[in-house]
Structure 1
């Protein structure tokens, strides 16, 4: 199949003001889609939207279920039926389990798990009667292997992974596909928050034994475009017989654990 089938379609991408979300939005536009770029950061959205008139900014707080329902309705009113939905938005508040506050736990799940749930629910309710659609959740390889100081993040991403796969089973008979992309360390502002000292990238690639964390066998940190390419493939007709899968894009860091 040479034609990706994305040209002329409408996509909604959350977390689109920067990092992986912005790379996904740009990649979908290159494939010919019109993209509803969603984020809580209006300034970041404006910068992303300025790159192409087919990127339309929509500001929304994904932690608010009412706002998410309104967002999906507004996007379809403005751009037409959503053919592709990509959930990228996420937050990270590093802390050990014992030091994680109730507020940090709740905030992390509100965006990373409940926000994904609400978005997938609202879009799939519209896709299933139409008999088509592709949904992709960007999770994390931390959802599959334990990480010190990242329990809330890892648990919320694990919830998003299984939510997406369960939805995929429920809507497969309606022609809607649901897949997950799980990045490892990727050069984004969230990743840079974790770097201490002046050798952050080198330390990530080499691994951190005292944190029981192996390095990256391929010897490089991912670029947001590396993740976006996998997302776009799964959203395209090239992946028309793929659903309920979780693709790790981490340079081998999790050793397929």
Structure 2
């Protein structure tokens, strides 16, 4: 079973006048239940057929829609149609917040082609070709450019941070010259003073690194937990990684 996704503009409007701000919808031409795993709040993905639509929780809350309501939509070609809300699902990352059944949008998208096709297991034989395995996609050119972009953005920031740290350490060391002189007068040799300063620097850096790691780990854990439980619920989990 496949799912073809094509974006279509729509206007939500009440009984009296149409709204002026269009939103994006995805047309589902196939079995939604086997193409995606959407966490249903109300209704069932199997009911998305005929004159029906599905909406995210954010979209339903914003418009005051409830399961079973008739929602008036203006499709991309200007046709106004009334569709029944058959599914309310938890808002997902990277997915339009309104889904239309293929039957509801048939004939209103001109010659629009699917922007994406989602297939169930083992589709290669049926298509007569070889598909890339998402679990082992091979080299990803996009990852290389992403690394270049990250380095370009973080490089200057790290350089300025290094300059600031060195400047602060030089200033603080200069302000302690009298302390060092007192230590020398008390009988310590130059090598002992140098080792003391070096040990202090190591302790400060280690403490800062541990605190930064703790803050980063908590932030990353909270982000991945939010994605896994609120945004990507029912889909592949995002692993916790600390590069």
Same fold by TM (over 0.5)? no
TM-score by length of 1: 0.20
Structure with greater strand share of residues: 2
Q: TM-score scaled to structure 2, two decimals?
A: 0.21
Rg: which structure is higher? 2
